[in-house]
């Protein structure tokens, strides 16, 4: 399938946006193309090309992907260098996945890929094509929190809350692999998630409660 057949514009998802590539460029005008040139998306040698050609160059630098996120397919054009974290937040507007260190140290961006916890900041979006991606939003049961989310609330396992989505996703991944983990296994599961508020004892209790809730 041709890129032009399935994609409206860079980072745009057909399932969500009705804006065409031509409409997008008409709306933002030449200024936006100039901004893209300045940011390095178009090389200096291409800087003086006509608008239509600049559009073509920009699109040809993209790759077409089909991402399955929270059981919904998203067909998009993305840059090969974009992280899954960037695509989730900036293009799919799933902002529950948090930006932290962006180098795989804090765990705030943890998501599930094929039910296994992964740092979204260290995962290229193109790597996730053909895999099942689950974010914190995907754990909701309609308008109600899922079992792990409920357990975190009941055990007061958050203070500032910034690390909480990543912590929850790590616990969710653990419980999908092991429905009755030991305290040591819980601690190991969240060892890659940093909580600057120090609520680790409550997080462990929340994981144990979540295991019970999932069994009920």
198-211 pLDDT, tens digit each: 999 999 999 999 99
Report which of residues 55 and 1 the model is more confident about. Answer: 55
Report which of residues 199 and 4 the model is more confident about. Answer: 199
Residue 14: its pLDDT value, please?
Answer: 58
Residue 36: its pLDDT value, please?
Answer: 39
Distance CA 165, CA 191 (A): 15
Residues of the chain with CATH 3.10.20.30: 3-137
Residue 30: its pLDDT value, please?
Answer: 38
Work out the pLDDT band at 48, boundaries 50, 70, 90.
low
% of the chain with per-residue pLDDT over 70: 72
CATH code, residues 140-215: 1.10.150.120
How many other CB atoms are found less than 10 A from the CB of residue 2? 7
96-110 pLDDT, tens digit each: 999 999 999 999 999
Residues of the chain with CATH 1.10.150.120: 140-215
Work out the pLDDT band at 172, boundaries 50, 70, 90.
very high
Contacts of 37 (CB under 8 A, 6+ apart): 46, 47, 54
Residue 61: its pLDDT value, please?
Answer: 85
Tell me the CATH architecture of domain 3-137: Roll (3.10)
């Amino acid at each position: 399938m041709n890129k032009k057949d399935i994609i409206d514009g860079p980072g745009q998802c057909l399932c969500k946006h009705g804006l065409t590539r031509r409409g997008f460029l008409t709306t933002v005008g030449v200024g936006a193309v100039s901004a893209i040139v300045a940011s390095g998306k178009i090389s200096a040698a291409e800087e003086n090309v006509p608008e239509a050609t600049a559009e073509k160059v920009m699109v040809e630098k993209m790759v077409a992907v089909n991402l399955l996120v929270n059981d919904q397919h998203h067909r998009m054009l993305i840059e090969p260098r974009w992280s899954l974290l960037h695509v989730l937040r900036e293009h799919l507007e799933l902002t529950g996945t948090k930006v932290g260190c962006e180098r795989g140290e804090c765990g705030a961006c943890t998501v599930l890929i094929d039910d296994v916890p992964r740092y979204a900041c260290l995962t290229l979006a193109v790597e996730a094509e053909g895999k099942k991606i689950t974010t914190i939003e995907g754990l909701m049961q309609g308008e109600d929190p899922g079992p792990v989310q409920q357990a975190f609330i009941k055990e007061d396992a958050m203070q500032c809350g910034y690390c909480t989505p990543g912590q929850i996703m790590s616990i969710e991944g653990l419980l999908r692999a092991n429905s009755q983990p030991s305290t040591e296994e819980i601690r190991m599961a969240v060892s890659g998630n940093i909580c600057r508020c120090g609520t680790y004892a409550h997080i462990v209790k929340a994981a144990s409660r979540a295991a019970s809730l999932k069994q009920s």
